C-alpha cells in the first residue's frame, strides 16, 4: 500500500503540475481563441450544468468503502461483495437516467434564466453546450463504480495514470479544434468523448485486471438502507461543494456581464488548483481508514492516524499560500496579462478560509469508513444558505468580488467551526490534538520562510525568467527551513530516504 500511495501521489502531483501548466496555457488561449463573451458563456454553462453532478450520490466513494470493508473481513464476504457491486451498477444506471431527465427540464429554463445577459445567438450556443455537458455527466456517473473498485484495490497508479493520459489528450484535441474554429462546442465535445473512452477502459480493467465480479445473489435490504443514508449524506455534501465551487459563476452570470465572469473564473481556477494540490495525499488514505474502522479503532487511534497525512498536506498548503502571497500579483500579470490584478485578491479571499478544512480532508475518509456523513452533511447544509444569501448581498455592495466574500464566510462558519465540533462530538476525534499535531513546527517554519522571502520578491526582476527564479529561490528557502524547523524525525527520515534513492540512481 505504501508504495502505491507514494507512486500514486507522485503521479497525482505530476498531474497537478501538468494541469497547472495546461491552465496557464489553455485559459489565455481559450480567452483569446473564443473571445471574452464566448468564453464567459462557456464558463457560465459549465458551472450551471455541473450542478447536476451532485446526482452521483457518491457511488464511487461508497464502492471504495464497501469493497475494502468486505475484503478486510475475508473470503466469506465474497458473495456479499458481488451482490453489492451488482446493485451499485444498477443504481448508477438509474442515477444517469435521472441526470438526463433533470437536464432536459433545465434545458428549457436557459432562455428565462439568461435572457437578460445573453443574446439570442448566445442562448443557442449555451443550449448546445449544456446538452453535451449533461451527456458527459451521465457517462461520468456510469463510470463511478469502476473508479471506486480501482481505488479500493489501492491501484492509485492506474487511477492517476488515466488522468494523466486524459489531460494530455484533452489539451491536444482542444488546441486542434480551436485552431480549426470549432469554438466552445469543440471543447465540451472533447470532454464527452474522453469520458466515454475511460468508461470503456475501466470496465474492462475491473473485470479482467482486478477480477471483480458483479453478480446478483439476493435482495439486500439492509445494505440498501445503509447505502441510501450514506449516499444521501454525500448528496447533501455534494450540493455544498457545488455551491462553493460553481454558484459564484452562476450568480454572477445572472447579475453581471459574461466578461466579468471570465475575470472571476480565473480566481476560481487558481483556487481549484490549490485545492487539488493540497488534498492529494489525504485522498489516498480512504482504504487505510476503512481497515482501521473495520478493526474497531477508537477516537485516539483515529486522531493519530489523521495527523501524518494532514501534516504533509499542511506543508504543501502553506508553501502554496505563502508563495502566492509573495509572488501572486507577478504570476497573474504574466498569466492572463496586465489589468486583471483583481484576481489576486479574489484568490486570497477564497484560499485563506479554506486552509484548515483542506488540510484536514483525511478526516472525511474516517467518516466515510464509518458511514457517518449524514449528520455532518446536515450541519454543513447551512453553509449553502450562508453562501447563497451572503454572495447576493455582497455582490450588490462590493461588486463581483462580493461573491468571494460570500464563499469565504460559508467556509469559516461551515468547515472551520461547525465541522470541527462535529468531528469531536461524532467520532471522538481530538480536534485540538489534531490541529496541534499538524501545525507543530510547520507554522513557525512557514512564517520564517515568508519573512526571508520578502527580499526575494522585491529585488529580482519582474520578467518570466525573474519570476521563475523567485519561485525557485523561495521554494528552496521553504524546503530548508521546513526540514530543520518544521519536520519531525519521521518526516526527516522519509526525506533522507527519498534523497538517498535519487542519489543512488
Q: Annotate 348-377 with DSSP letters as a single string.
A: HHHHHHHHHHHHTTHHHHHHHHHT--HHHH
Q: What is the 3-state secondary structure (H, E, C) of 278-318?
A: HHHHHHCCHHHHHHHHHCCCCHHHHHHHHHHHHHHHHHHHH
pLDDT digits (tens, 9 = 90+) for 479-497: 999 999 999 998 898 888 8
pTM: 0.74
Is residue 42 situated within a structural domain? yes
Is residue 312 situated within a structural domain? no
Is residue 406 situated within a structural domain? no
> 3-state DSSP helix/strand/coil percent for the chain, to nearest 5?
90, 0, 10
* Percentage with pLDDT > 70 across the chain: 93
Is residue 199 situated within a structural domain? yes
b/e string for 194-210 if b means 16 or more Cβ within 10 A? bbbebbeebeebbeeeb
pLDDT digits (tens, 9 = 90+) for 195-221: 999 999 999 998 888 888 888 888 878
* CA-closest candidate to residue 152, choices 64, 70, 222: 64
Q: Residue 1 pLDDT more than 60?
A: no
Q: Residue 167 pLDDT more than 90?
A: no
Task: Count the domains in the chain.
Answer: 1
Is residue 368 situated within a structural domain? no
Half-sphere exposure of 427 (CA within 13 A, CB side): 29
* Percentage with pLDDT > 90 across the chain: 23
Is residue 189 situated within a structural domain? yes
Cell of 34: 473564443
Is residue 382 situated within a structural domain? no
Is residue 473 situated within a structural domain? no
Q: Which domain holds residue 52?
A: 1-219
Amino acid at each position: 500500500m505504501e508504495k502505491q500511495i507514494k507512486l500514486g501521489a507522485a503521479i497525482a502531483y505530476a498531474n497537478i503540475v501538468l494541469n497547472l501548466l495546461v491552465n496557464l496555457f489553455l485559459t489565455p488561449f481559450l480567452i483569446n481563441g473564443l473571445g471574452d463573451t464566448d468564453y464567459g458563456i462557456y464558463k457560465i454553462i459549465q458551472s450551471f450544468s455541473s450542478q447536476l453532478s451532485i446526482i452521483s450520490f457518491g457511488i464511487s466513494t461508497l464502492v471504495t468503502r464497501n469493497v475494502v470493508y468486505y475484503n478486510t473481513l475475508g473470503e466469506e464476504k465474497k458473495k456479499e461483495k458481488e451482490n453489492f457491486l451488482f446493485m451499485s451498477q444498477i443504481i448508477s444506471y438509474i442515477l444517469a437516467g435521472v441526470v438526463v431527465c433533470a437536464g432536459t427540464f433545465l434545458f428549457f429554463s436557459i432562455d428565462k434564466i439568461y435572457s437578460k445577459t445573453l443574446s439570442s445567438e448566445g442562448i443557442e450556443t449555451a443550449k448546445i453546450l449544456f446538452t453535451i455537458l449533461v451527456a458527459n455527466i451521465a457517462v461520468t456517473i456510469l463510470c463511478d463504480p469502476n473508479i471506486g473498485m480501482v481505488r479500493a484495490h489501492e491501484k492509485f497508479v492506474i487511477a492517476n495514470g488515466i488522468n494523466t493520459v486524459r489531460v494530455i489528450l484533452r489539451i491536444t484535441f482542444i488546441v486542434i479544434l480551436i485552431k480549426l474554429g470549432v469554438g466552445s462546442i469543440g471543447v465540451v465535445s472533447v470532454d464527452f468523448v474522453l469520458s466515454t473512452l475511460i468508461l470503456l477502459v475501466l470496465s474492462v480493467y475491473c473485470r479482467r485486471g482486478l477480477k471483480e465480479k458483479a453478480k446478483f445473489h439476493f435482495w439486500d435490504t439492509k445494505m440498501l438502507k445503509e447505502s441510501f443514508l450514506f449516499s444521501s449524506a454525500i448528496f447533501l455534501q455534494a450540493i455544498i461543494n457545488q455551491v462553493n465551487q460553481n454558484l459564484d459563476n452562476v450568480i454572477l452570470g445572472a447579475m453581471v456581464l459574461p466578461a466579468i465572469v471570465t475575470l472571476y473564473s480565473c480566481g476560481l481556477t487558481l483556487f481549484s488548483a490549490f485545492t487539488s494540490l493540497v488534498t492529494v495525499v489525504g485522498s489516498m488514505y480512504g482504504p487505510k481508514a476503512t481497515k482501521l474502522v473495520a478493526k474497531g479503532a477508537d477516537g485516539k487511534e483515529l486522531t493519530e492516524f489523521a495527523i501524518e497525512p494532514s501534516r504533509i498536506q499542511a506543508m504543501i498548503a502553506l508553501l502554496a499560500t505563502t508563495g502566492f502571497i509573495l509572488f501572486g500579483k507577478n504570476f497573474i500579470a504574466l498569466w492572463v496579462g496586465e489589468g486583471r490584478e483583481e484576481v489576486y485578491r479574489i484568490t486570497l479571499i477564497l484560499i485563506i478560509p479554506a486552509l484548515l478544512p483542506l488540510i484536514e480532508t483525511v478526516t472525511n475518509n474516517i467518516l466515510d469508513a464509518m458511514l457517518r456523513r449524514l449528520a455532518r452533511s446536515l450541519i454543513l447544509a447551512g453553509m449553502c444558505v450562508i453562501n447563497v444569501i451572503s454572495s447576493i448581498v455582497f455582490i450588490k455592495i462590493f461588486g463581483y468580488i462580493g461573491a468571494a466574500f460570500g464563499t469565504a464566510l460559508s467556509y469559516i462558519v461551515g468547515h472551520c467551526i461547525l465541522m470541527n465540533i462535529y468531528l469531536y462530538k461524532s467520532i471522538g476525534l481530538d480536534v485540538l490534538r489534531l490541529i496541534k499535531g499538524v501545525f507543530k513546527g510547520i507554522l513557525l517554519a512557514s512564517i520564517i520562510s515568508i519573512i526571508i522571502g520578502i527580499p526575494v520578491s522585491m529585488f529580482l526582476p519582474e520578467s518570466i525568467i525573474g519570476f521563475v527564479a523567485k519561485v525557485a529561490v523561495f521554494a528552496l528557502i521553504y524546503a530548508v527551513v521546513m526540514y530543520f524547523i518544521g519536520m519531525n524525525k519521521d518526516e526527516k527520515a522519509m526525506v533522507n530516504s527519498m534523497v538517498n534513492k535519487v542519489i543512488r540512481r
